[in-house]
Amino acid sequence: MKQHVLVLGGTGKTGKRIVERLNNLGHMVRVGSRSANPSFDWNKPANWPEVLSGIERMYITYQPDLAVPGAKEAIAALTKVAQDQGVKKLVLLSGKGEVEAEHCEQIVLNSGIDTTIIRASWFNQNFSESHFLEPIQHGVVALPNAGSKAPYVDANDLADAAVEVLLNDGHEGKIYELTGPRLLDFETIVNEIAQATGRDLKYIPISLEEYVGAMKSMGLPSDVVWLIEYLFTEVLDNPDNQIITRDVEELLGRQPIDFSDYVAETAKTGIWNQVVA
Ligand SMILES: NC(=O)c1ccc[n+]([C@@H]2O[C@H](COP(=O)([O-])OP(=O)(O)OC[C@H]3O[C@@H](n4cnc5c(N)ncnc54)[C@H](OP(=O)(O)O)[C@@H]3O)[C@@H](O)[C@H]2O)c1
């Protein structure tokens, strides 16, 4: 049966892939983002009932992160609107190892609406569609936590998993922890991208203090600096987040995408060869 699905963050790394998959399956998809019409803005709840009107299933990504102050209140308010509008199924994208995000998960799980949580590791696509792209284009990637490893997960696996749990029964009340198949540190990542692109890329290990100092001197807002510092300490440095799970395989019946396959596909687009001075 065709469903009316709202995809919040529907132009972002996971959302745009979910929108594409749902459209291909013939569902009626509404994108929820500030640039959509009607516009959805986490900071402007007044028109949320209009955006959710007629929606049966909803994928939720919160911006910028479920760990930030105010996220719990916003998630609770959205959940209430979803109840009022008769939404039947919720899927929340959460972050692995974020205690604050787990509070938000509980709000959605306890809403009375069928809910599934997908709790993700850091995404591969952070290196091609987000904050780690520019340093790669620049040729020098200076990041802290040189010794930390993470099981980066591919946004395509997240999208496939989200579509599975959005559309099919049997996932209600469940929390899936989605990781990639391999633990990677920054040096390995930069070397893999260098090899695939033929570029001379350098990884420079720096301290967290140097990284935070650099962000401040670039004029980044204090809440953004706080979030990045949080993600590098509480999340990337957390040994629990280095556990590789089998949840992608359980959900999709296939192995998760390996970082090398992501690198090979992304290198073909040429994005990493757009050199920034
Ligand atoms: N990146 C990671 O490694 C990672 C790992 C685990 C969990 N997560 C979680 O993933 C979520 C981000 O999802 P994503 O990476 O798929 O998205 P994304 O690529 O960061 O894209 C952001 C999306 O949200 C929309 N957006 C931005 N600000 C908004 C606002 N104020 N109100 C409404 N919409 C807004 C954007 O569209 P407009 O600009 O048109 O509004 C866009 O569609 C966060 O909650 C993060 O904690 C990320």
Amino acid identity, position 80: K
- Does residue 14 line the site of ligand 1, with CB under 6 A? yes
Confidence of residue 90 (pLDDT cuts 50, 70, 90): very high
- Does residue 42 line the site of ligand 1, with CB under 6 A? yes
For residue 101, the ligand 1 atom closest to its alpha carbon is 47
In the predicted model, what is the mean pLDDT of the chain? Answer: 96
For residue 15, the ligand 1 atom closest to its alpha carbon is 16
Give the range among 19-23, 74-78, 148-152, 234-238 with minimum mean pLDDT: 234-238
Q: Is residue 96 part of a domain?
A: yes
**Who wins on pLDDT, 45 or 97?**
45
- Does residue 66 line the site of ligand 1, with CB under 6 A? yes
Which of 138, 146, 230, 233 has the alpha carbon at shortest distance from 184?
A: 146
- Does residue 247 line the site of ligand 1, with CB under 6 A? no
Q: Which residue has the tokens 């308010």?
A: 77
> Which of the 8 DSSP states describes residue 69?
T
For residue 120, the ligand 1 atom closest to its alpha carbon is 6
Percent of the chain clearing pLDDT 70 (strictly above): 100
Q: Is residue 64 part of a domain?
A: yes
At residue 240, the pLDDT reads 87
Collapsing DSSP states into helix, strand and coil, what is residue 241? helix
For residue 62, the ligand 1 atom closest to its alpha carbon is 45
Percent of the chain clearing pLDDT 90 (strictly above): 94
Q: Is residue 62 part of a domain?
A: yes
Q: Is residue 97 part of a domain?
A: yes
Q: How confident is the model over 122-148, as a mean pLDDT?
A: 95
| φ/ψ of residue 164, rounded to 5 | -60, -50
Nearest CA to ligand 1 atom 46: 65
Q: Is residue 107 part of a domain?
A: yes
Count how many domains the chain has.
1
At residue 159, the pLDDT reads 98
At residue 85, the pLDDT reads 98
- Does residue 11 line the site of ligand 1, with CB under 6 A? yes
Nearest CA to ligand 1 atom 47: 65
Does pLDDT of 276 surpass 90? no
At residue 239, the pLDDT reads 87
Kindly list the distances between the CA atom of residue 11 and the CA atoms of 33, 61, 128, 146, 200, in Å, as whole numbers in the listed order. Answer: 7, 11, 15, 31, 32
- Domain span at residue 47 reads 4-122+155-178+243-257
Q: Which residue has the tokens 């709202």?
A: 6
Any idea what the CATH number is for the domain that residue 85 is in?
3.40.50.720
CA of 65 to the centre of ligand 1 (A): 8
Residue pair 60/108 in contact by the 8 Å Cβ criterion: yes
For residue 152, the ligand 1 atom closest to its alpha carbon is 3
What is the tens place of the pLDDT at every residue in 48-65? Answer: 999 999 999 999 999 999
Does pLDDT of 277 surpass 80? no
Which of 54, 59, 4 has the alpha carbon at shortest distance from 26?
A: 4
Confidence of residue 275 (pLDDT cuts 50, 70, 90): confident
What is the tens place of the pLDDT at every residue in 163-209? Answer: 999 999 999 999 999 999 999 999 999 999 999 999 999 999 999 99
Q: Is residue 85 part of a domain?
A: yes
In terms of DSSP bridges, do strands 140-143 and 114-120 run parallel, antiparallel, or are they unpaired? unpaired
Q: Is residue 174 part of a domain?
A: yes
**Sign of the alpha-carbon dihedral angle for 248, 109, 240, 15:** positive
At residue 118, the pLDDT reads 98
What is the tens place of the pLDDT at every residue in 196-232? Answer: 999 999 999 999 999 999 999 999 999 999 999 999 9
Q: Is residue 167 part of a domain?
A: yes
